Amino acid sequence: MKVTRAVSPLLPLCQRLLPGRIAGLSLALLKATALEIAILAGHLLLYPTGITPERRPAPNPPGTPTDLADTGTRTGTGTGTGTGTGTGKERGDTTRLPTPTRPPVVLLHGFIDNRSVFVMLRRSLAQHGRQQIESLNYSPLTCDIRTAAELLGRHIEEICERTGHHEVDIVGHSLGGLIARYYVQCLGGDVRVRTLVTLGTPHSGTRVVPLMNAHPIVRQMRPGSGVLDELCQPAPHCRTRFVSFWSDLDQLMDPLETACIEHPDLLVQNVRVSGIGHLALPVHPAVAAGIRQALDAEETEARPAANANAAAHADGLTVA
């Protein structure tokens, strides 16, 4: 998938002053940095709106069919095979035909952030048919990925009970992706998570900003930490499908490839994004389109072989 835009008028000047490859890289870095600054400014304005937890819809009373107001479609509870009491009784039916529905999407933000980072992605998912989207906040004082993953698990159990779905999809940005992966791999969350999409997540640890080591959760995101060592352990029966978006201009990933998932037991697709930085990953419309494609992908893949991850690097998303 490629997304292209008009060529910057500064490109001819850069090409004259610098060698071709350096000029291209410098221009891309300049554009990505400008976009990051603009996104940061917008996010600072939206940040107060995401401090409080999201309001949860009230569960349906027992025996009441779930109404999807946007589509007018009625579905049963559970996996769509429950019995109904509304129009079914009026017509003398004892059961309702199951209506295929997509699982809820859970959005999980990154370090020192909140759910407001997903305003654009949430809108994009809703406009393309996702009826149940929930943004979770975890405390900015969180100091342990394991504890945050346990809390995520409780939230997901509550979401499944409230919505009647057996599984959810998760989109995690940065640290949020690491929390979700720990839940899936180490806490049995693969029975609840169908697809986990991560955006700029330091799966192998990042060495950026050494001064941040004073924070315990940052130390857990460093190469060789105990949490990352646990994620390297065998996971032969993990059922979750992983899709990892990583950017070649991500300022917070050192090395850049740390945002890829490398594990022989996991079903993984690593998607390289070119032309944007860390903050743009949950915001850019081209990435949102890639996320929708990943969530809607048919699950026809077989359980991966030991070298399946290598082939996944062929996928890419170019934002120019």
CA–centroid distance for 187 within its chain: 19
**Residue (of 261, 262, 178) closest to 218 by Cα position:** 178
Model pLDDT, residue 69: 35
Rounded Cα gap, residues 259 and 278, in angstroms: 11
pTM (two decimals): 0.77
CA dihedral 199, 205, 206, 211 (to 10 degrees): 120
Model pLDDT, residue 50: 83
Mean pLDDT of the chain: 80
Over the chain (320 residues), the average pLDDT of each successive run of 10 is: 41 44 68 92 89 69 40 38 41 41 94 94 95 90 94 97 96 98 98 98 95 94 97 96 97 96 97 96 96 80 42 59
Model pLDDT, residue 51: 83
Model pLDDT, residue 316: 78
